[in-house]
Amino acid sequence: MTDLLIKNGRIIDPANGIDGKGDVLVREGKIAEVGRVSVDGATEVIDARNLLVVPGLIDMHVHLREPGDEEEETIASGAAAAAAGGFTSVVCMPNTDPAIDNEATVDFVYRQAAKAGKANVFPAGAITKGWEGKELAEMGQMVRGGAVAFTDDGSGVQNPAVMLRAMQYVKMFDKPILEHCQDNALSGRGCMNAGLQATVLGLPGMNRLAEELMLYRDIQLARQAGARFHAQHLSTRGAAQMVRQAKQEGIRVTAEVTPHHLLLTEEACQGYDTNYKMNPPLRTREDIEALRQAVADGTIDCLAGDHAPHLASEKELEFLSAPSGIICLDCALGLYAKALIETGTVDWPRLIALMTSGPARILGIAKGTLGIGCEADITIIDPRHSWEVEVSRFYSKSRNCPYDGWTLCGRAVYTIVGGVIQFQLNR
């Protein structure tokens, strides 16, 4: 394997407290040197002048649809989209068909990802068999196979007794429970935020209490079990405050937020465009401001896209019947920069921490660092690169994205996985 020298960049490595100009030497797929590097001989060189050199970005919440719905996305196409967006590692959700609820399916994900070779794909295992919320899956066996977390994402575990047993079980392996906090009895047929906009549009609303009451329940269960609990895609100011309070009380709680809940409000649904149908739904301007504040003060531990591919024929259904979710792997970095950098909420080092060391710490994986001897997963970012989102050019197989035509600033120009360049932007 050819040595790779990345020189003259601004190195931001929050895991190791590094923020300064320097070089990175990659040898045999590992980080060999960081700082001022002088290498003679036949070495591949990237001049990163005016660019950010950071640990490979991590998205711990993506849907890759394989096995079962490969027409929407495959592990290979999702990994390619990840690399194009600057992500070297992603965690795929288990709500596939069949569900990722056993060691064999966990192994299948790893084998498909290795075959694709574009990015590291870590599987999250289902909490319950068949993702049905009734009987615990064999989490111990899935840990042995390489599952990094457990979730029934998409529905959440509705039975509190089942969730408590899951937390008690998974504590033995020190893996996090990732929860889609939604009380289905309260959410009902809701397809957007409950409020004036839903009333005007004649659509059933989803009360924020569906999220907040489930989150409160799970925080209390985590307190009881002493387990690690991670709240997925927070969408309300009340949920953010609840996580903040739980952390102050010493409960082992972490949380994530998505680009769309940092940028879009319920008003986007006025045209009945199903690309704005999310679960949890888009909320209000006040919720956006509260979530940005939660990012700024450390309540939010990481950023996660909830990349959710769907067929055009599905998204063309009426608003009530269409599936929830959008794709964003190809453009997430620019969206976070728009929501958080351009608004002065955080600076680039903090943003990079939220996309590298933050998710790596939650998952307990040896990623999100430029430490010597670590796998050379590196993202090189041009923070000043202005570009227009063209969904038709995405690497994802699906096209359900509301950001087509948006102008963003900040983009990955190189994505390096294990010392190999997997994506290079043609500028």
Give me the active site residues, please.
Answer: 306
Q: Cα–Cα distance between 83 and 142 in angstroms, integer?
A: 26
What is the distance between the terminal CA atoms of the chain, rounded to a whole angstrom? Answer: 26
Residue 326 is classified by DSSP as: -
- 229 has which bridge partners? 177, 253
Looking up tokens 């319950």, which residue turns up?
128
- How far apart, in Å, are the Cα atoms of 33 and each of 23, 270, 376? 8, 53, 11
Q: What is the DSSP letter of 341?
A: I
Sign of CA dihedral 266, 284, 400, 107: negative
Contact 373, 30 (CB under 8 A): yes
Which two three-digit tokens encode residue 180? 């889609």
Edge-to-edge order in the sheet of strand 302-303: 177-179, 229-231, 253-257, 302-303
In the chain, helix, strand, coil percent, each to 5?
35, 25, 40
